[in-house]
Amino acid sequence: MRDKLNRLFAPLLLPALSVFTAMVLGGVLIALAGGNPLEAYAGMLEGAFGSPRAVSETLVWATPYILAGLSVSLAFRGGLFNIGAEGQLAFGALSAAWAGHWLPRLVGGGLPAALHVPLTLLLGALAGGLWAAVPGWIKARAGGHEVISTIMLNYVALNVVSFLLNGPMKDPTAANVLSRTPLIDESARVPALVDGFRLHWGFPLALLAAALVGWVLQRTAFGFEIRTAGQSPDAARYAGVRVGRTVIVTMALSGGLAGVAGAIEVSALHHRHELGFSQGYGFDAIAIALLGKAHPGGTVLAALLFSAMRSGATRMQYLTQVPIDVISVIQALILLFVAADTLVRRIYRVRARGERLVLTRGWGG
Amino acid sequence: MVYRRYAFIAVVVSVLVLVVVLVGASQVPPLTIVASMAATTLAVATPLTLGALSGVFCERSGVVNLGIEGMMLAAAFSGWFGSIYASAVLGIPPLPSLLLGVVIAVATGALLGLLLAALAVTYSVDQILAGTVINLLAVGLTGFFNRQLFFGPASAFGGQVPHAPGVLPRLHVPLLADLPVVGPVFEQQPIAVAAVVLVGLTHLVLFRTRWGLRARAVGEHPRAAATVGIDVVRVRYVNVVIGGAIAGLGGAYFTLESVPSFEPMMTNGRGFISLAAMIFGDWTPFGSWAAALVFGAAQAFQINLQLFRDQIPPSWSFLQQSSVVGLVPYLLTLLILTGVIGKTTPPAADGQPYEPEGRR
Amino acid sequence: MKAVLEARGITKRFSGVLANDRVDLDLGEGEIHALLGENGAGKSTLMNILYGLVRPDEGELRRSGRPVSLRSPSDAIALGIGMVHQHFMLIPVFTVAENIVLGAEPVRRGLLDRGSASAEVRGLSARYGLDVDPDARVEDLPVGVQQRVEILKALYRKAEILILDEPTAVLTPQEVDELFRVLRGLTSRGVSVLFITHKLREVLAVADRVTVMRAGKVVGAAIPAETDERGLAAMMVGREVVLQVSKAPARPKAVVLEVERLGVAGRRGSGGDAVRDVSFSVRAGEILGIAGVQGNGQTELVEAVTGLSPARDGRVLLRGRDVTGALPRALIERGVSHVPEDRQRHGLVLSYSVADNLVLCTYHRAPFAVRGVLRDDAREENARRLIKAYDIRAPGPGTPVSALSGGNQQKVILAREMSRPVELLVASQPTRGVDVGSIEHIHREIVAARDAGAAVLLVSAELDEILALSDRIAVMYRGGLVAMRDAGAVSRTELGMLMAGVLPGEAAPAPGAGEEAAPASAAGGAEA
C-alpha cells in the first residue's frame, strides 16, 4: 500500500518543488514591486476557487490549456518540440469560425446542431493538424528542425489570420470596426455545461482527449511507434517503423489537438474568431507539458494549476494592485525549474530516480 | 553546395531590388533606389546579423542558443529603460545616455548568456529547452517590468512616462559617405557599423586565433579537447557569454537605434530568424551575414515599397499590406529549412551536454 | 629497471561499483608493458586515472619515484605522459597539424602560426619515421594514419610515457606489425609504453612484461616469454577458457541471400562509394564470414542488405525474390534477423524495458498486439521465457535495458532476433565490447542458428571470430569484395594480407590500380 502510494506521488515531488520555488521567487518579485506576496497569493486563490463562478472560470481557462498542453506533450513523446501550438490553435479557430458561419451558407441551409457542432470541431482539428503536418514534413524530408519551422509558422499564421480577419472573413456588419469574423450560427455552438455559467462541454471533452491520448500512447501499437521514434529514431527505423511518416503523423495529431483547442474557444466561448483571443495558450502549453512531464495525466494537473493562476490573477490585481504580468514571470520560472531539475534536486537534496525522458536532441534531430 | 547557397542569396536579393526599381522607376533614378535598398538592407539586417553571430559563437563551442530572441528582447528593454533613466532622472545628456543604454543592453545579454551557460553546461539541461526558458522568462520579465517601472505604483518616474533620449546618431564614414548616389549606404548608425565589424572580428577570432581553434575543437569533439588539457566548461561559458553579449547588442538596435520606444514582444521572431540565417550560413560569420542580408533585403523591400505606394498598380496593391509582405522573411526561413537550397552541417557536438570521463 | 610511473593502491568507485580495487602497477623505463584484461576489468578506468581524466578515490601515483597528483590531462601532459585513446581523440574536420598542436599552439602576434605548426609536425614525423601530411584533413585519412597522428600528438608534447588503449582494434595484422615496430623504435629512444589490450597474441608478440586485471583487481603479472596463451587466458578470465568453438561441418542447402553487383553511396562529402560492385550468396545452413578492417564498407553493406539504407545500384535477392530497397519491416516479415553493429544506437531503445526491447520488431503482431492494441501479458510472458532461455542477467522484464551490461544487452538483441523464424541472420560485430562468458554464449547461438537451417552473414573485424565461426570467408577492402575462400583453405596470414589490400601474386599493394579493373583487383591503392 505504502509502496503504491509512493509510486503514485513520487513523480509529483519534483514538479511540486519546482512550482513552490517559482512561487517563492515570484513572491520576492511581488514584494519588490511593493506588494504583499501572501495577500497576492491569497487573492489569486480566492479568484480561482472562491465561488462557483470562479471555479467555472478556472475550468473555462483550463480547457484550451489541457488541449494545447496535450498537443505539446504528444509531440514531446514523439521526440518533437512543437512550439507552434499557438499558430495551430489560431488555424483551428479560423476553420471553426468558417464552419460555424460560412459552411451552412455554402451547403445552402442550416445544419442540425448534432451535425454542425462535431463538424465545426472536426474542421478545427483538421486545420490545426494540416498546419502542423508542414513542419513534420520538413523534418522528415530534410531534417529541418521543427523548433524553428513551427515558430516561423506561428508568425505566418499570425499574418494570415490578421489578413483574413481584416479582409475576406471580416464581419461585414456596418458598425464593425474590429478584426473579427461574424458570429457563428447557434447550431455550431458547444452548449454550456451548467446553466448560468460559462463552463461548457468543451471541458469534459478535453478530459476525454487526455484519456484518449494516454490510451493511444501507452496501449496501442501506434503509440509504441510514436514513443520509439521519439526515444530513438535509429532503433525505430531498425525495428521497421517508418520514422518519417510517424513524425508527420505525430505532428499532425499534435496540431489537431491544438486546432480543437482553438475551435472550442470559438464554438463554445467567443462564438467568433477575434484577433488576439488566444492569450498565449500555445506558449503556456509548453510549460504545461513540461511541468506535466509530457504525461497526459500530468498535463491535466499542470493545466489546472496554470488556469487557476491565470483566472485568479484578475482578482489578485484587483485586491492587491499586483499586475497580472507577474503570472507570466512565475510560469517562466516554473519552466526554468522543471527544466533544470538537477538544480531543484540540489536545492532540496532530492536524489535522482529512474531514467530521464529524452525530449529533444539538438539540431541533429 | 556553397555555390548554390550564395546563388540563392544573390537571386533573391536581386529580385527584391528589381521589383522596387521597376515600381519606382518613373519617380526616382534606378541607381538611387538601389542605393536606398542597400542602405535599408544593411540597417535592418543588423539585429539578424548580430543574432546570427551570437549563434555562431555559442554553437561553434557546442551550445545551441535558442534564447537569442529572449536575450534581444530583454536587452532591448533594459537598454531602453537605462537610457531613459539616465537622461530623465539622472539628467545625463542624450548621447551618453544612449551609450549607457547600449552598455546595459550588452550586459543584459551577457547575463542571460551566463544563465544559458549555467543551464546548458553546468546543469546539462536540454539546450533547446534552456533557450525556450530564456525566451519565456524574457517575455514575462519585460512585460512585468515594462508595466511596473513605467506605470505601476512603484514607477521609477512617478507614473509620468518621460521622453526617450532619441536614437543613436548616424555615423559618417569618411570619403565613402561623400560619394554621390551611393553615399547613403555608408551613412549608418553605430550598431549597424559594429555588426559589420563584428562579422570580420568573429571570423578572425574563430579561425585565426588560439582561442578560436580551441573553441571549435570543443564544439566538434569536447572529449578530445579535454584530453589535451582544454577546459571544456570554461570555453563554453566564455563563448556563450560572448554570444549573449552580442545578442544584447542586437537587442539594443531595436530601442536605441531603430525606434526610441519599447513594445512587448517587439523582437517579433528576429532571434529565431537569425538562427535560420546562421544555419543557412553554415555556422560561419560571413555566411551568416550573407543570409542575414537576404532577410534584411526582404524587410527593406517592404519599407522601400512604401515610398512608391502610389505607383503600385491596383491589382498588386496587396503588396502594401503588412500582413502579406511581412510574410516574406518567415517563408524564406521555411524554404531554407526544407533543404531545397542545400543542407549545412552543424558542429559535431552542437547541442550535446559534455559529461566528463568516468560518468556513464 | 627504474620505474618511471607507479600506481599504488588505486581504488575508484562509480556509483557504488568498484572499478579499481587497490590496483598496483609499475612501468619501467624503456619497456613495453602490457595491461591485459577483458572488457569491464577496469583497465580503462586505471588508464584514465593515469592520464588525469579520472581522479582516484584512494591510492597514490608516482612519477619517477616522486608522488604526484593529476587533476587534469594538463597535469599528465606536463609530467610527460601521453595517451592514445581507443576511440581516437581527433577532430575530424581539423587538419593533422591543427590536431597535433591543439592545446599547445604556436602563436605569432596573437594569431595562430600555421606555418610553424606544419613545419614542426613535419620535423617530428621525420624524426620518428611516422609519415603524415600535416595539412591533410584527419577525416580523409585511413585509421592507421590517424593512429600515427595520435602518437605524434603525444610526442609533440614531449611524452616520455605513452599509454595506448586497445591500439590494434582497428588495424590490419600488417598495420599491427608496423605499430609494434614503431613502438619498439620509441622504446629504443627511451620512451616507456603502457599497452592496454585484451588480445593475448599481441601481449606475447610485443610486451616485455604483462600485468593482468580482472574485476577491478590486479590478479597477476608475468613475463610473456615464460607463459603462453592458455595460461594468460586463464588468469584473465579466472577459469579455463574454451578457445575453440565446436561445430560440425556445414551442410549448405538452397541459396537464401544473393547480392548482385551491389553499390552503396558513401557518406556525404566523403566522395566515392562505400560499397562497390559486391556480389556473393549465402546458402541455408552455412556461415559466410566477412572479414576486413573496420571502415571498408562492411557497415554500409549490412545496412543495404537489411533495408536500413538504400542501395545505389545492384540487387539483393532473398530466396530468389528481389528485395532491393525493401523497408526493414518487409524484410523482418520475410525472416531476416539482424544483430546490428551499433547495438545501443540501432539494436535497443535504451530507456525501454527488457520486455519492450524484446518485442521491438514484433510489437504490432499477434500475440503482442491484437487489432492494434498492445497486450501486456503476452509481452511479459515472452520476456520471462527469453530471459530464461538466453540466460539474460536482468532482475526482471521491467528492468530498463540501459541497466544491463554490454554482454546482456547483446543477449537481449540475440534473443529477440532468434525468437522468430529465421531465414537469414545478419550478425554485425556480434561480440564487440562483450565479456568472454557472453562471447562463448553468442558464438554457440550463431552456430545453432546455422544448424537450424538459417543462412548466416557474419561481419566482424575480429579475425579470430571470423576464423572460429565461418564456413566460407570473404574479405572486404575499400568497398569491394577482394576474395572469397573456404574457411579450411585459408591462413591467418593470407587473410591479413587480403585485408590490407595485398592480393595474391602481388608483392606489395599496387598504388593507383585501375578503377575499371575487375572487382578482384579494383581494390588498388596503397593504405598509405
Strand partners, C32: C193
Distance CA C290, CA C473 (A): 6
Q: Which residues of A touch C329 (CB under 8 A)?
A: 240-242
Q: What is the sign, positive or negative, of the torsion defined by CA atoms of B82, B86, B88, B93? A: negative
Contact: C89, B228; criterion CB under 8 Å: yes
Disruptive mutation site among C11, C20, C93 for chain B (greatest number of B CBs within 10 Å): C93
What is the rounded average pLDDT of the residues A160-184?
88
CB nearest A287 (choices: B125, B136, B334): B136
Q: From the centroid of its chain, how far is CA C421?
A: 29
Tell me the three cell numbers of residue B294: 537576404
Q: Which ranges in chain C are annotated with CATH 3.40.50.300?
A: 3-237, 245-335+421-528
Measure CB to CB from residue A220 to each of C329, C338, C373 and give the nearest one: C373
Which residue of chain A is at minimal alpha-carbon distance from B136? A332
Is B358 close to C110, i.e. CB distance below 8 A? no
Mapping DSSP to helix (H, G, I), strand (E, B) and coil, where does residue C350 land?
coil
Residue B251 is predicted with a pLDDT of 97
Specify the higher pLDDT residue, A81 or A143.
Answer: A81
Beta-bridge mates of residue C321: C318
- Facing residue for A159 by CB, picked from B127, B326, B333: B326
Checking if the pLDDT of C173 tops 80, the result is: no
The tens digit of pLDDT for each residue in A118-168 reads 999 999 999 999 999 999 999 998 888 888 899 889 989 988 998 899 888
pLDDT of residue C249: 86
Q: Do C332 and A240 touch (CB under 8 A)?
A: yes
How high is the pLDDT of residue C526? 34
For chain B, which ranges sit under pLDDT 50?
Answer: 358-360
CATH number of this structure's domain C3-237, picked from the four choices 3.40.50.300, 3.40.50.880, 3.90.180.10, 3.40.50.970: 3.40.50.300
Q: Is A349 left (phi over 0), alpha (psi -120 to 50) or beta?
A: left
Contact check, Cβ <8 Å, C91/B230: no
Q: How close does chain C come to B218, measured CA to CA in Å?
A: 9
Kindly determine whether residue A239 and residue C328, on different chains, have CB atoms separated by under 8 Å. yes
Cα torsion at C354, C358, C364, C365 (round to 10°)? Answer: -140
Instruction: Tally helices (H) and strands (E) across chain B.
Output: 14, 2
Please tell me the predicted confidence (pLDDT) of residue B360.
35
* Whether C329 and A228 lie within 8 Å, measured CB to CB: no
- Looking only at the bridges linking them, the beta strands covering C287-291 and C455-459 are parallel
**Chain A positions in Cβ-Cβ contact with residue B338 (cut-off 8 Å):** 138, 141-142, 144
Residue A341: the pLDDT is: 82
Question: What part of A 210-269 touches B (C-beta under 8 Å)?
Answer: none
Amino acid at B111: L
Specify if A29 maps to a domain.
yes
Cβ count near B2 (within 10 Å): 11
CA distance A249 to chain C (A): 16
Q: What is the CATH number of the domain that holds A176?
A: 1.10.3470
Q: Report the 10 Å Cβ neighbour count for C325.
A: 13
C-alpha to C-alpha distance for A328 and A324, rounded to whole angstroms? 8
With a pLDDT cut of 70, the percent of chain C lying above it is 93
DSSP notation for A4-43: HHHHHHHHHHHHHHHHHHHHHHHHHHHHHTT--HHHHHHH
A360 vs B128, B268, B272: nearest CB: B128
Give a yes or no: residue A71 inside a domain: yes
Compare all CA atoms of chain A with the CA of B149 and give the residue at the minimum distance.
A33
Fold of C245-335+421-528: Rossmann fold (3.40.50)
With a cut of 70, say whether residue C153 has pLDDT above it: yes
Chain C residues within 8 A of A225 when measuring between CB atoms: 364
Dihedral sign for Cα atoms in the order B144, B146, B147, B150:
positive
Output the pLDDT for position C516. 36
pTM score over 0.90: no
- Name which of A231, A232, A238 is nearest C340 (Cβ-Cβ): A238
Q: Do A242 and C345 touch (CB under 8 A)?
A: no
Inter-chain CB proximity C83 and B227 less than 8 Å: yes
Give me the residues paired with residue C424 across strands.
Answer: C336, C455
Least Cα separation, residue B35 to chain A (angstroms): 29
Residue C128 class from Cβ within 10 Å (0-12 exposed, 13-18 middle, 19+ buried)?
A: middle
Query: Which residues are within 8 A (CB) of C4 and not within 5 positions of it... i.e. 6 or more apart?
Result: C27, C28, C29, C63, C64, C160, C161, C192
Q: Is B268 on the interface with A (CB under 8 A)?
A: yes
Higher pLDDT pick, C234 / C306? C306
pLDDT of residue A323: 83
Nearest to C363 among A224, A242, A357 (CB): A224
Report d(CA B257, CA C511) in Å as an integer: 63
ipTM for the predicted complex: 0.87
Judged by a CB distance cut-off of 8 A, whether residue B228 touches chain C is: yes
Contacts of B212 in chain C (CB under 8 A): 112
Residue A283 lies in a domain: yes
CA dist A325 and A310 (Å) reads 10
| Cα of B213 to nearest chain C Cα, Å | 7
Per-residue cell: A241: 517503423
- In one-letter notation, the amino acid at residue A209 is A
Residues of A whose CB is below 8 A from C375: none
Q: Which of B230, B176, B250 is nearest to B61 (CA)?
A: B230
CA atoms within 13 A on the CB side of C91: 29
The answer to whether A125 touches A200, Cβ cutoff 8 Å, is: no
Percent helix, strand and coil across chain C, each to the nearest 5: 35, 25, 40
Task: Note whether B278 contacts A: Cβ–Cβ < 8 A.
Answer: no
Chain A hits for C400, Cβ within 8 Å: 354-355
Chain C nearest-CA distance from A27, in A, is 38
Say if the Cβ atoms of B123 and A333 lie within 8 Å: no
| Partner A contacted by C378 (CB < 8 A) | no
Q: What is the pLDDT of residue B339?
A: 78
Decide: helix, strand or coil at residue A232: coil
Q: Do B228 and C73 touch (CB under 8 A)?
A: yes
Query: What pLDDT score was predicted for residue C270?
Result: 53
Q: Which residues of A touch C374 (CB under 8 A)?
A: 218-221, 223-224
Instruction: Judge: A232–C329 Cβ closer than 8 Å, yes or no.
Output: no
**B338 and A138: CB-CB below 8 Å?**
yes
Residue tagged 579499481 (cell numbers): C20
C positions 405-464 inside 8 Å of A (CB):
none
| A155:B268 CB<8 A | yes
Interface check for B339 against chain C (CB to CB < 8 A): the answer is: no
Indicate whether A257 pLDDT > 50. yes
Contact A235 C332 (CB under 8 A): no
Cβ of residue C221 closer than 8 Å to a chain A Cβ: no
- Please tell me the distance from the alpha carbon of residue B355 to that of residue B349, in angstroms, as a whole number: 12
Q: Check if the beta carbon of residue B132 is closer than 8 Å to that of residue B120.
A: no
Asked if B356's CB is within 8 angstroms of C93's CB, the reply is no
Q: Angle of helix A221-231 relative to helix A52-77, nearest 10 degrees?
A: 70
Minimum distance, in Å, between the CA of residue B356 and any CA atom of chain C: 8
DSSP one-letter code for C137: B
> Could you read off the pLDDT of C213-270 as tens digits, one per residue?
988 899 988 898 888 888 888 888 777 666 567 788 888 899 999 999 999 988 654 5
Q: How far is B129 from chain A (nearest CA, A)?
A: 7
The x, y and z cell numbers of residue B182, run together, are: 551611393
What's the confidence (pLDDT) of residue B150?
78
Compute φ and ψ for A207, nearest 5 degrees. Answer: -65, -40
Whether A12 has its CB under 8 Å from any CB of chain C: the answer is no
- pLDDT for res B357: 58
**Residue A360 lies inside a defined structural domain of this protein:** no
| Domain extent at residue A327 | 2-348
pLDDT of residue C268: 55
Q: Which residues of C touch B (CB under 8 A)?
A: 14, 45, 48, 51, 53-54, 72-74, 77, 83, 85, 88-94, 98, 102-105, 107, 110-112, 153, 157
Contact B214 C51 (CB under 8 A): no
- Please state, in angstroms and rounded to a whole number, the distance separating the CA atoms of residues A17 and C326: 50
A335 CA: distance to closest CA in chain B (Å): 6
Domains recognised in chain B with CATH numbers: 2-337 (1.10.3470)
Counting Cα atoms < 13 Å in the Cβ hemisphere of C460 gives 26
Give the torsion through C-alpha atoms of C446, C450, C451, C452, to 10 deg: 100
Structurally, chain A folds into a number of domains equal to 1
Subunits in contact with chain C (3 or more CB pairs closer than 8 Å): A, B
